[in-house]
Amino acid sequence: MSALEVRDVVVDYEARGGGRVRAVAGACLTVEPGQIVGLVGESGCGKSSLARAAVGLVAPTAGSVFFEGAPVSPLTRRARPRELIRLQLVFQNPYSSLNPRRKVGSQLGDALDALDLVPRRGRSARVRELIELVGLPATAADGYPHEFSGGQRQRIAIARSLAANPSVIVLDEPLASLDASAQAQLANLLVDLSRDLDLGLLLISHDLAIVRHIADAVSVMYLGLMVETGPTLPLWQVPLHPYSEALIGSVPHPDGTGFLPEALPGEVPDPANPPSGCRFHPRCPYVFDRCRTDDPPLVPLQDGRTAACWLQPQGAPVALPGDRVKGVNLPR
Ligand code: SF4
């Protein structure tokens, strides 16, 4: 049983001018205990909508989500069943989710009180423990949120989610507003927490270098659909879907080499009016006739990988012409 399982989830929204937009068009993924799963794709591909459906903040139009075997219902936080408290969400901007007028220790204490997981006399010790778990000194309990850097505030937000003793945390672009050094440090903290606490992490990020560095598995999303999934290293070394290949090819190396600005031409199409056939076909360098009319299914391939592309025959992945090895190592 996976810690978190998303099955064929569809998320529709009302469009501003009427009608409906399909933000997620049938997505599947799993997160196992102690595993970091990266969810990548360009802005507007449906990553955040899928994250919200995964934790029950939006109701899927179709499909289902299971957390530790139990269905995740789209309920308000107040009505959240106790067993779902161990499924947490951390947002991009920690400042908006912290109370600027209350000390960090008080806010963590409030979280513990609300969860009723620690007896009153053990509260201070647990607050200190949570703060130290995320690599901050215990004295941080006496500070106000504005006294901390963006990276430190994100650590505080993670400490608050850890108050629930979660088994899975969904992190929606947690590194997006941080500088490169803070990103690398926070990424390393996530690896440590996942390993030490057997914590499953679903890391939604447009920063492919960080995902490449810390994720055990990757799901690549394009216009509401999963187009490729699999273990991180093989996927990076030999992407099986042209979109994965282009996305990975568009990552600049720190030394300035390897950046292929032409790798990902054009814009993501309007989700309200997706292209026929394969949704990637208007941007795909390998497009052929069938791609324009038939939507390729996501098929299982060897070594636990899947891809949705007519170039991939059932059961026998073929390498794309532009295979390459990518990735950067971040300092610990
Ligand atoms: Fe490209 Fe066709 Fe594969 Fe779509 S199905 S990614 S258009 S080759």
Assign domain 4-86+166-326 one CATH number from 3.40.50.300, 1.10.3720.10, 1.10.10.1100, 3.40.50.1580: 3.40.50.300
Domain with CATH 3.40.50.300 in the chain: 4-86+166-326
Predicted confidence band at 330 (pLDDT cuts at 50, 70, 90)? very low
pLDDT tens, position by position, 80-107: 666 678 899 998 877 777 888 999 999 9
8 Å CB contact between 170 and 90: yes
Please tell me which residue, 269 or 319, carries the higher pLDDT value: 269
- Please work out whether the CB of residue 284 comes within 6 Å of at least one atom of ligand 1: yes
pLDDT for the residue 305: 93
pLDDT for the residue 15: 79
Predicted confidence band at 12 (pLDDT cuts at 50, 70, 90)? very high
Residue 88 CA to ligand 1 center (angstroms) comes to 36
Residue 72 CA to ligand 1 center (angstroms) comes to 34
Predicted confidence band at 258 (pLDDT cuts at 50, 70, 90)? very low
| Average pLDDT of every residue of the chain | 86
Strand partners, 64: 7
Q: Which residues contact 134 (CB under 8 A, 6 or more apart)?
A: 155, 156, 158, 159, 162, 189, 193
- Please work out whether the CB of residue 246 comes within 6 Å of at least one atom of ligand 1: no
pLDDT at position 218 over 60: yes
pLDDT tens, position by position, 173-194: 998 888 888 999 999 999 999 9
Q: SS3 for 197? A: helix
- Please work out whether the CB of residue 309 comes within 6 Å of at least one atom of ligand 1: yes
pLDDT tens, position by position, 114-134: 888 788 888 999 999 999 999
